Amino acid sequence: MSSPDASGRVVLHIESLSKTFPAQKALDDVDLELRSGEVHCLLGQNGSGKSTLIKILAGYHAPDPGSAAVLDGRSVVLGSPTIRDHGVAFIHQDLGLVPDLDVVDNLALGNRYAGRWWVSERTERTAATRLLDRFDLDLDPAAPLSAATPGEQTMVAIVRAVAGADTAPAVLVLDEPTASLPQHQVEQLFGLVRRLRDQGTAVLYVTHRLREVFDIGDRVTVLRDGRRIATRPVADVTSDGLVELIIGRRPTAFAPSVPTASVDVLLRADEVVGEQVDDFSIDVRAGEIVGITGLIGSGYDQVLGIVYGARPRTSGEVEVAGRRLDPGRPDRAIASGVAYAPADRKRLSTIQSWTIGENLTLPRLPSAGPARWLGQRRERREVEPWLKRLDVVPDDPDRLLSLLSGGNQQKVVLARWLRVDAQVLLLDEPTGGVDAGAKASIYRALAEIASQGRAVVLSSSDAEELCAVCDRVLIMRNGAVTSVLDKDELSVARIVSETIRDSVAESLEGPTSDDD
Amino acid sequence: MTIDAQTESRADDVPALDADDRDARRSPSRILGALRPARYSGLLLLAVFVAFFSIRLPETFPTSSTITSIAGDQSVTLILALGLLVTLAVGQFDLSAAQNLGMSAVLCGALMVKQDLSPVLAVTITLLVGVAVGVVNAILVAGVGIDSLIATLGMSSVLLAVTSLVSNYQFVGPVPEGFQGIANAELFGLPVVAVYAIGLCFLVWYALEHSPAGRRAYAVGASPDAARLAGVRTVRYVAGSFVVTALFASVAGVLVTAKIGSVAPTLGPAYLLPSFAACFLATTQVKPGRFNVWGTVIAVVLLATGVKGLQLMGNQLWVTDLFNGLALLVAVGAAVLSGRRTRRRRRRAS
């Protein structure tokens, strides 16, 4: 598409882009310029207008009149899906894959099969394998996509978008592609992004992780409250400087909770075995925040569900405050004071088509009187203080949950379990898809929960997060806990190197300690 | 067509509105939202029907006999629809309910006429058999794990066979005069069966919309996985819903027998469409997007009024089927379209 000497040429230029929704101004006079051969990071809290900007680019929303856009020297109409025909490719947070279909079919969706008139299974499989090999993806092309981990699914979506054209796309928009990826796959993805960049693609990279900006970004644009706050070369900014731009004030360092010396073991798991997990044992004391991490496939993202009873446990014992927990019985787990928030917020931890209030009260409904009458006014009264306590915005119990940002949805989930007075909170990726500001308030909430003498166990692929909040981190490999890092040993480098120690040989890009 | 119009419909139920909300109400989108008649469009349509038929048929339509006949005929459909709401709320279909009604009606009649059993005993046996059908459905769907459409379709055919066996393809009846009284006696100028139906409406309204069990049932219907992880015993709710639906179908069958005295063996299937149509039409009314009791009541009355008017205008019998079928298509079409509009609004808002 563009030769290397043309790098720095402006591929996409957007001018005075505004978007007004009935309730708020989502974008206010935003300019954006993407040059070929650059990775342009887009930063901002949820609600800052990032998503709106991308949705306008992709043609889901029409902008307010008065904006102009020039793509490759030609003027284009924003808010129309035809932009995809001009070499603009999108990876959205919702990957748009079909879990029931196999990898071959998913790759062919949106592109085409290798055969034109006759789809031969063997030819297609060979073509797909070749494509996957090109991007270093070790996947069985004939297996249904649902068998792949979220990380692998993200990679399939990216491969599909990139493989669509013979040449590299002029603009590639990546909307938080690493939200569910472990470090070594993030490295692989970055390798791919750099390759595309070097071929002249302008990459618009949306993320919440500041470290990634410094890893891969050439320039960075920060949005706040729908306005463009700054566009700077990455070399000219510091991490603290970026945070200040994002939240509009100086960052207050998150103070990790002081582990209260307690001897009461609240949660004990002993040799728990389940899918992807061969041997998991843990003792969690009151007041502790324990992290679990590992590579995708190591079982770190499955084990909490198995302990809770969301996924089948084939053997092993789980005890909560001395009481045994039956496998596969979430209702009994809740009754014993255990709460679980799965990573898949949309499908598993909330009911998106319900209101905030209904989601919050579901585990224990506020019924009154001998008839167990469930009245709307009483429910509202019951819910409101919890929304205030966890700072949910908006704090209207009758608002549909799907209208909230990821961070606020997660706060509703936390409020739900605090309301039933859960003693042990099991959280998978508690800040997945949550912006920097909301992350800090979720961390604060977790620290407060622990300081009340409850226990928190969280699984996360974000080493920074684990360092920031955990008193102890368990690292899993091949279904078993292989090492435990205590508070004074915690560092991003240490977590990452422990995580991938055995798999360095397998992964092609192995540099691990250059990211802290 | 804004986010506001969406929240409007829910905010209406809440008495306390803060100042912000009241100001926002005056914006054009708010007013449009408030005027948007979707939530009670059924009542509006009903008024149009009544006005139209009253003008066209001033002699026959606006009479008390029309009201009595609609109330009497539709009470049974309504009771069946109330039962169906319970399975629909947990996200399942019970296609066998209508035939369960037909089988119960024939069985109840046959027990009294052919076996000379006392009405009390006949009704008890009938209800037990009806509930047993529900238990089998529950085992097939919640235990074995057959898709509810397939399981109840099969059950429906089995029940059709049982009905034919019991009736020997003949009318069953007439049942004793005293027994007919339990449905046809008059109370407040209405056949007593209509009073039963209204009573059951309040019961189901409480159970589904204002009891913890009902809320959990809706949770199972909205997202079985999320409900299970929030501590809802989903299998139990699915199983229970089939038993409840079967009980309502069976009660409706007994009441039909009492009401018409002589039961045709082909009675059941005629109830399938109107009752399902009413339930789906209900998802566009009162509480859009949810199966709800008062929406169902509106839908049943609306369908019945339309059919009655068309029949009085001298149309053939096939008009009934045509009207019910078209109403179902329009209702579900409207529900799908309004759902799409909601999604679009959500997308804009995020």
Contacts of B27 in chain A (CB under 8 A): 22
Shortest distance, CA B218 to any CA of chain A (angstroms): 10
Nearest CA in chain A to B344: A60
| pTM (global) more than 0.95 | no
- All residues of chain B having their beta carbon less than 8 Å from the beta carbon of residue A352 are 223
- Look at A340 and B11 and tell me if their CB atoms are within 8 Å: no
Chain A environment of B226 (Cβ under 8 Å) = 347-351
What residues in A contact B232, CB-CB < 8 Å? 331, 362
User: Closest to A51 (Cβ–Cβ): which among B10, B222, B350?
Assistant: B350
User: To probe the interface with B, which of A365, A383, A401, A417 has the most B CB atoms within 10 Å?
Assistant: A365
Residues of chain A predicted below pLDDT 50? 1-6, 252, 255, 503-516
Residue B15, pLDDT score? 35
Using DSSP's 3-state secondary structure scheme, residue A44 falls into: coil
Interface contact B349, partner A, CB < 8 A: yes
Q: Alpha helices of chain B — where are they, by DSSP H? A: 3-11, 19-25, 28-35, 41-56, 64-89, 97-113, 119-138, 148-167, 177-184, 192-204, 212-222, 224-229, 234-260, 269-282, 293-312, 318-349
Tokens of B313: 């205008």
Q: What is the pLDDT of residue A104?
A: 84
Shortest CB distance from B3 goes to which of A362, A376, A403?
A403
State the burial class of residue A403 (Cβ atoms within 10 Å of its Cβ: 0-12, 13-18, 19+): buried
Give the single-character DSSP code of A102. B
Contact flag A367-B13 (C-beta cutoff 8 Å) = no
Residues in chain B with CB shorter than 8 Å from the CB of A310 are 228-229
CB of B101 within 8 Å of any CB in chain A? no
Pick left, alpha or beta for residue A13 (phi over 0 → left; psi -120 to 50 → alpha; otherwise beta): beta
CB-closest option in B24, B219, B349 to A21: B349
**B169-194 confidence digits (pLDDT tens):** 999 979 898 899 888 888 877 889 99
* Closest chain A residue to the Cα of B30, Cα to Cα: A22
Q: Measured between CB atoms, does B214 come within 8 Å of chain A? A: yes
B350 contacts A403? CB cut-off 8 A:
yes
Nearest CB to A365; choose among B6, B206, B212: B212
Below-70 pLDDT ranges, chain B: 1-38, 335, 338-350
Q: pLDDT value at position A249?
A: 61
d(CA A19, CA A27) in angstroms, rounded, equals 5
b/e map B266-276, b = 16+ CB within 10 Å: ebbebbbbbbb
Who among B215, B216, B226 is closest to A347 (CB)?
B226
ipTM of this complex > 0.90? no
Q: What chain B residue is nearest to A61 in terms of C-alpha separation?
A: B348
Q: Which residue of A has its CA nearest to B29?
A: A22
Q: Is the Cβ of B2 closer than 8 Å to some Cβ of chain A?
A: yes
Note the pLDDT of residue A459. Answer: 94
Contact B347 A55 (CB under 8 A): yes
Whether B41 has its CB under 8 Å from any CB of chain A: the answer is no
B223 shares contact with chain A (CB less than 8 Å): yes
**Predicted local distance difference test score (pLDDT) of residue A5:** 40
Q: Do B347 and A60 touch (CB under 8 A)?
A: yes
Query: Which residue out of B229, B233, B287 would a mutagenesis test of the A interface target, given it has the greatest number of A Cβ atoms within 10 Å?
Result: B229
Distance in angstroms (rounded) separating the CA atoms of residues A350 and A130: 39
By Cβ distance, the residue of B210, B219, B349 closest to A351 is B219
For position A282, what pLDDT does the model report? 93
- A351/B349 Cβ within 8 A: no
Nearest chain A residue to B235 by CA distance is A329
Least Cα separation, residue B169 to chain A (angstroms): 46
Strands A472-477 and A289-294, sheet pairing: parallel
How far apart, in whole angstroms, are the C-alpha atoms of residue A113 and residue A128? 9
CB contact under 8 A, B212 and A334: no
A362 vs B7, B219, B346: nearest CB: B219
- The alpha-carbon gap from A161 to the nearest alpha carbon of chain B, in Å, equals 22
Q: Is B68 on the interface with A (CB under 8 A)?
A: no
Is B210's CB within 8 Å of A373's CB?
yes
Using CA atoms, how far residue A291 sits from A333, A435, A456, in Å, is 20, 20, 8
- End-to-end Cα separation, chain A, in angstroms: 35
Residue A100 is predicted with a pLDDT of 84
Determine contact: B59 vs chain A, CB below 8 A. Answer: no
End-to-end alpha carbon distance in chain B: 15
Find chain A residues with C-beta within 8 A of B214's C-beta.
Answer: 374
Three-state DSSP class for residue A290: strand
User: Could you tell me the two tokens for B13?
Assistant: 């139920």
Q: Closest-CA residue in chain A for B219?
A: A351
B232: distance to nearest CA of chain A, Å? 6
Say yes or no for a CB contact (<8 Å) between A400 and B216.
no
Report pLDDT for B320: 82
Cβ of A363 within 8 Å of Cβ of B211? The answer is no
The closest CB to that of B211, out of A308, A352, A367, belongs to: A367
AA identity, residue A166: D
Confidence (pLDDT) at A6: 43
Cis bond upstream, residue A394 (ω within 30): yes
Burial of B119-150, coded b for 16+ CB within 10 Å and e otherwise, reads: beebbeebbebbbebbebbbebbbeeebebee
